[in-house]
Structure 1
Amino acid sequence: MDDKLRTFQVWDYVVFSCLFVVSSGIGVFFAVKERKKEPSKEFLVGGRQMSCGPVALSLTASFMSAVTVLGAPSDVYRFGASFVIFGVAYTFVVFFTAELFLPVFYRSGITSTYEYLELRFCKGVRIAATLIYMIQTILYTGIVVYAPALALNQVTGFDLWASIYATGIVCTFYCTLGGLKAVVWSDAFQMVVMVTGFLVVLVQGAMKAGGLANVWEKALDGQRLDVFDFDPSPLRRHTFWTVTIGGTFTWLGVYGVNQSTIQRCISCKTETHARLALYFNLLGLLVILACAVLSGLIMYAYYVSCDPWTAGQVQAPDQLMPYFVMDILGELPGLPGLFVACAFSGTLSTVAASINALATVTYEDFVSQCCSDLSNKAAAWISKGLCIVFGVCCTSMAIAAAYMGSVVQAALSIHGMCGGPMLGLFCLGIVFPCTNSKGAAIGLIVGIALSFWVGIGAFLHPASPLTTHPLPLSVQTCSANTSAINMTTSTPLLSSSPAPLTTDGSALDSWYSISYLYYSAVGYISTVVTGLIITAVLGGTDPTEVKPGLIRPVCNLFCFFSKRLRRKCWCGVDHDDEQCWDLGSTELGEDKCPPNGSSVFRMQETAAYANQAFVKDSQT
């Protein structure tokens, strides 16, 4: 590849800049449009009047960060198309989110996901979960900004610090001005950019590689289409079971109970719109996944006899995709800039969603608890101030990542290591009505400890899983000046698993060799099992103290034939009156539910009705 093709040209910068200009313009638009609506609810949850279309696009864009855009094709290039099985995990994740978690969160009228934990358990559990979420989100968001910026800088010459500062400033700008509505509509625009960028690469790449038929033939010969591996060993990196089971736990932990996702779902005008947003979002996830996998296969077919990584033309696997883009699009003005805009669309959407979610949980879980008599105007200004604070924090974290070296790889796994215990905590509340607050708190502590033990232990003392090694790559036709083999040991920033080392076969090595996709499963199982054991020892929660709307009767799917069995499975909590599941079905001042709700929940219930009344009045 000619060195000239490795650098950005003027038109590339112009196309890339349009992404930031349009995103900022959306923030200005909603700041002007919503300037007369001061309440923080309007700013943080869009007045709960969003429709399913833009929310679905927003969910997809923020879920598919630049780590996916750059990392997934590289993974397919090196390990094969087994990455496509993540589509099965995505389907399970969306189904459980829509049918199990969303109804509870939406009907309770909460703004912060962690409000649920106080309603179901106690304030201490809520605060602990909120702090864990804030730390993991700031850390992860910083890495999401830094890692792709570094990969693009090393291949295209795109300025590293300029991209980091621009991302932080622009995201903070439109989040602060326009609130959740600006975030959602900016994400929708960025989703279009992501798909367009991928399509350009797919079309041009397929042409350069000799057509899709040739791509398929090369991938088949190179074992890249050996997708289904049913080996049950948890030590294997990507098998059908690790991806479907482990992937479901991993993404459900950072999706089904994550503030960033749930906040946009509860911003929808009805629960039906929220469910539709999730299912339409699934289509978007599958489209992006298909584009990423196909990009990896095309890249392999193009470099089948001259691997740039082995030949030393790139220093880490996460640079393969931008290198490929500059190779096939470098002579076409503006198109490399379009792909970089595609990658940074994932970054912008993830960062913006994180900033808005962090501001929301901080306001709802801390500020509003300490200052309950704030005026609507003061609440709105505090919410905007929090967006600025967290925008600075996330940008600072991205800068700090430049000095963290290989710790970056461990930071990328923290999202999964925290997600499993958090998922287990919410499941203890929603799925197991008997769980008490002490069981929930101790379960969370044990779950965090075990998931961090296996995750950090695998990073500090990596032992080789049996299939960490990539599939064969060739440098047979590389030119003389680039054919020197580069066996670099630099850690790929976008990699999801530790680099392979030898193992002596001990139990501890096997524990550290477990697939990274099972980190969340370890946290989930340990949290739930510990919570239930502590509950059994100390005694379960009195069923008269559990509001029916705080739990989800999933056992009714299996026990629908027996009312007595349903009641026994739900530890005596009555789910027969469906009006008690949906707070929105009860009018202000009229109590249709049994008198077993806690006073805290009654206060929340009244607040939810008052918010609905305000929305109706404002529309009038």
Structure 2
Amino acid sequence: MDARRDIGGFVVWDYVVFAGMLLISAAIGIYYAFAGGGQQTSKDFLMGGRSMTAVPVAMSLTASFMSAVTVLGTPSEVYRFGAVFSVFAISYFLVVLISAEVFLPVFYKLGITSTYEYLELRFNRCIRLCGTVLFIVQTILYTGIVIYAPALALNQVTGFDLWGAVVATGVVCTFYCTLGGLKAVVWTDVFQVGIMVAGFASVIIQATVTQGGISKIIDDAYNGGRLNFWNFNPNPLQRHTFWTIIIGGTFTWTSIYGINQSQVQRYISCKSRFQGKLSLYINLVGLWVILTCSVLCGLALYSRYRECDPWTSKKVSEADQLMPYLVLDILQDFPGVPGLFVACAYSGTLSTVSSSINALAAVTVEDLIKPHFTSLSERSLSWVSQGMSVLFGALCIGMAALASLMGALLQAALSIFGMIGGPLLGLFSLGILVPFANSLGALSGLLAGFAMSLWVGIGAQLYPPLPERTMPLSLETYGCNSTYNGTDLMTTTEMPFYTSAFEIRNIERTPLMDNWYSLSYLYFSTIGTLTALLVGIFISLSTGGRKQNLDSRVLLTKEDFLSNFNFLKKQHHDLSYKSHPVEDGGTDNPAFNHMELNFTDQNAKANGTRL
């Protein structure tokens, strides 16, 4: 970027800080490869021996959420569209509440390793495999985006080769994931979340000093229309309003926290159900801290560049490069601090990618290998799990190339989760909350939800919504002293926020494009979830779902709620929810021991079919 000559660049201390973060992350992986005898079993590798406690797991959940997509995408989001994004604070509360009180109790009492084991216990193996395949596709696509995002930051700030940085990210993640398993993932996350908060804090503090105080930043944001917190417009076509964020955001993030293997795997690795719930609620505080930091950085961006937008004045080529540009602009006189910010973005990626690789290895071993190779010993399964980590690390690096074609990073990432996560959330909700849901209804609901969310999601990629739908705020260039020949104002309608490499241009817009395909991207998940639920309920009622004889443990029961309010009951339930012993070479899911034959056969007979 030519802009680097205007704002400074990396010095030796920046590289030292950055390299130090990488080395410490790798060292944690090496330590857990040998600590306590190393990864002797697949349970040790994938679940940390089910001995984790709330605080490190909470920090790990937070670190995974705060990927480079958050570090780079959210501030530019606030810069372009205003602080309405902060309404996600309410969504996060609802998401954590639903995850802790609806999904965690069921997953924990079954002692599962892969969340998709639940689908076989509740429905059948076919539906379990559908869930597993969808998760693998979703995670590899998303992980490609979060590997590509910090490479953009590095390329903008330091001039590092873009694809060299992509490969380096994937290799470091794969290294400590393969050596240390889940414990390495969790404890590197604890270290990395500290780096990320420090990176954000350095930007906020220096921006406050440079701009003349936090009140000046807030005043500039107010005068620029950025403090648009309470937009109650019910129009579902408008990109971000109070309602799209509360409703669509809750569905989107519940599909991540409630059922996504990357998150669930960590809180069910806790040594008791109480510790698992506690980790989610502590994590909520971390989410609020991250959101506050991201929004403040976005407002600081606007205060700094309210008269000369670097994007429309061509000083950066993508909106996602605004944060690195700000860092080198205001921190160039502090050797090592720009390196801290890049380490911040890089840490977000390492934490997210490592948890994704570990989760991909877990579902592959549990759902695709164990059922077909029952004679493998636990030691052999541990080696297979490590091999899967290497394989998926390589796949995620390759998928990062696709991310470069996906347009704006934040929206692309949430769109993927919405299109695939929504129907899966509907499927799990059907199993846990609807006692009469049967296998035929579940499969029909999943396919219908997937078809609907793909229809609107792919349509939005081909025919992106017009600016009057996304409603970007104005950006000005009159203070740039550039070659705009007297142009006093350049608004975002000249350079739309959301573009796609797959967009079909120069075509007459139709009502379908201007309405259905212009639906807020946050509703992709909502459509998939509700379609899966409604179709699943209708088909189940039509095919004898009421005649099933289910084990109550696959459903959310009244006792799951009562145990939160009665201390004696909580103690009793926590004891019954403890980790279960694993027989060497067997499954670590006790539910299969007595349920797999009887319960699945009963379910099939009740359904009148076996898919």
TM normalised by structure 1 equals 0.87
Aligned pairs for 1:95-106 (under 5 A) are 95-106=97-108
1:167 pairs with one of 169, 172, 179: 169
1:550 and 2:554 are equivalent in the alignment: yes
SS at match of 2:371: helix
8 Å Cα contact 1:491-1:499 kept in structure 2: no
What's the offset of the Cα at 1:24? 0.3
SS at match of 2:198: helix
Deviations 1:41-95 (CA, angstroms, capped at 9, x unpaired): 0111000000111100000010121111111111111111001001111110001
> Residue 491 and residue 507 in structure 1: after superposition, are their counterparts in 2 closer, same or farther (change >3 A)?
closer
> Residue 337 and residue 393 in structure 1: after superposition, are their counterparts in 2 closer, same or farther (change >3 A)?
same
How far apart, CA to CA, are the structure 2 residues paired with 1:199 and 1:367?
Answer: 45
1:602 and 2:594 are equivalent in the alignment: yes
How far apart, CA to CA, are the structure 1 residues paired with 2:361 and 2:473?
Answer: 44
Aligned pairs for 1:149-164 (under 5 A) are 149-164=151-166
8 Å Cα contact 2:68-2:146 kept in structure 1: yes
Match of 1:532? Answer: 537
Percent of aligned pairs with the same residue?
50
Aligned pairs for 1:234-249 (under 5 A) are 234-249=236-251
Match of 2:465? Answer: 463
How far apart, CA to CA, are the structure 2 residues paired with 1:29 and 1:456?
Answer: 44
8 Å Cα contact 2:417-2:525 kept in structure 1: no
Match of 1:34? Answer: 36
Match of 2:138? Answer: 136
Deviations 1:250-297 (CA, angstroms, capped at 9, x unpaired): 111122100011100111011111111000000000000000000111
8 Å Cα contact 2:52-2:271 kept in structure 1: yes
SS at match of 1:254: helix
Deviations 1:124-171 (CA, angstroms, capped at 9, x unpaired): 000011001001111110111113312441354233123212111111
1:233 and 2:245 are equivalent in the alignment: no
> Residue 325 and residue 371 in structure 1: after superposition, are their counterparts in 2 closer, same or farther (change >3 A)?
same
How far apart, CA to CA, are the structure 2 residues paired with 1:158 and 1:181?
Answer: 31
Match of 2:601? Answer: none
Match of 2:298? Answer: 296
How far apart, CA to CA, are the structure 1 residues paired with 2:591 and 2:357?
Answer: 32
8 Å Cα contact 1:238-1:515 kept in structure 2: yes
SS at match of 1:532: helix
1:312 and 2:314 are equivalent in the alignment: yes
Q: Which moved more, 1:409-418 or 1:165-174?
A: 409-418
Match of 2:279? Answer: 277
How far apart, CA to CA, are the structure 2 residues paired with 1:500 and 1:223?
Answer: 31
Match of 1:516? Answer: 521
> Residue 521 and residue 284 in structure 1: after superposition, are their counterparts in 2 closer, same or farther (change >3 A)?
same
1:50 and 2:47 are equivalent in the alignment: no
8 Å Cα contact 2:475-2:492 kept in structure 1: no
> Residue 441 and residue 201 in structure 1: after superposition, are their counterparts in 2 closer, same or farther (change >3 A)?
same
How far apart, CA to CA, are the structure 1 residues paired with 2:330 and 2:408?
Answer: 33
Deviations 1:177-202 (CA, angstroms, capped at 9, x unpaired): 10000000001111000000000000
What's the offset of the Cα at 1:331? 2.3
Please tell me the residue identity of whatever aligns with 2:455: W
SS at match of 1:82: helix
How far apart, CA to CA, are the structure 1 residues paired with 2:57 and 2:85?
Answer: 26
8 Å Cα contact 1:94-1:282 kept in structure 2: yes
How far apart, CA to CA, are the structure 1 residues paired with 2:397 and 2:343?
Answer: 19
How far apart, CA to CA, are the structure 2 residues paired with 1:262 and 1:14?
Answer: 35
1:197 and 2:199 are equivalent in the alignment: yes
Match of 1:448? Answer: 450
Aligned residues: 578
How far apart, CA to CA, are the structure 2 residues paired with 1:355 and 1:528?
Answer: 30
2:511 pairs with one of 472, 485, 506: 506
How far apart, CA to CA, are the structure 2 residues paired with 1:428 and 1:366?
Answer: 23
How far apart, CA to CA, are the structure 2 residues paired with 1:110 and 1:355?
Answer: 18
What's the offset of the Cα at 1:494? 10
TM normalised by structure 2 equals 0.88
Deviations 1:235-261 (CA, angstroms, capped at 9, x unpaired): 111111000110000111122100011
Deviations 1:313-347 (CA, angstroms, capped at 9, x unpaired): 11121111111111001222111110011111111
Q: Which moved more, 1:338-347 or 1:150-159?
A: 150-159
> Residue 86 and residue 306 in structure 1: after superposition, are their counterparts in 2 closer, same or farther (change >3 A)?
same
Aligned pairs for 1:68-467 (under 5 A) are 68-402=70-404, 404=405, 413-464=415-466, 466-467=468-469
Match of 1:563? Answer: none
8 Å Cα contact 2:407-2:499 kept in structure 1: no
**CA RMSD of superposed structures (Å):** 3.2
Match of 1:21? Answer: 23
Deviations 1:434-481 (CA, angstroms, capped at 9, x unpaired): 000010011100100000100110110223264413212221221235
What's the offset of the Cα at 1:395? 1.1
What's the offset of the Cα at 1:32? 1.5
How far apart, CA to CA, are the structure 1 residues paired with 2:131 and 2:553?
Answer: 21
> Residue 106 and residue 398 in structure 1: after superposition, are their counterparts in 2 closer, same or farther (change >3 A)?
same
How far apart, CA to CA, are the structure 1 residues paired with 2:166 and 2:226?
Answer: 34
How far apart, CA to CA, are the structure 2 residues paired with 1:45 and 1:65?
Answer: 22
> Residue 253 and residue 498 in structure 1: after superposition, are their counterparts in 2 closer, same or farther (change >3 A)?
farther
How far apart, CA to CA, are the structure 1 residues paired with 2:270 and 2:579?
Answer: 19
Q: Which moved more, 1:478-487 or 1:35-44?
A: 478-487
Deviations 1:80-123 (CA, angstroms, capped at 9, x unpaired): 10010011111100010000000100110000000000000000
What's the offset of the Cα at 1:499? 12
> Residue 203 and residue 157 in structure 1: after superposition, are their counterparts in 2 closer, same or farther (change >3 A)?
same
SS at match of 1:331: coil
> Residue 298 and residue 400 in structure 1: after superposition, are their counterparts in 2 closer, same or farther (change >3 A)?
closer
Q: Which moved more, 1:352-361 or 1:535-544?
A: 535-544
Aligned pairs for 1:464-503 (under 5 A) are 464=466, 466-480=468-482
What's the offset of the Cα at 1:553? 2.9
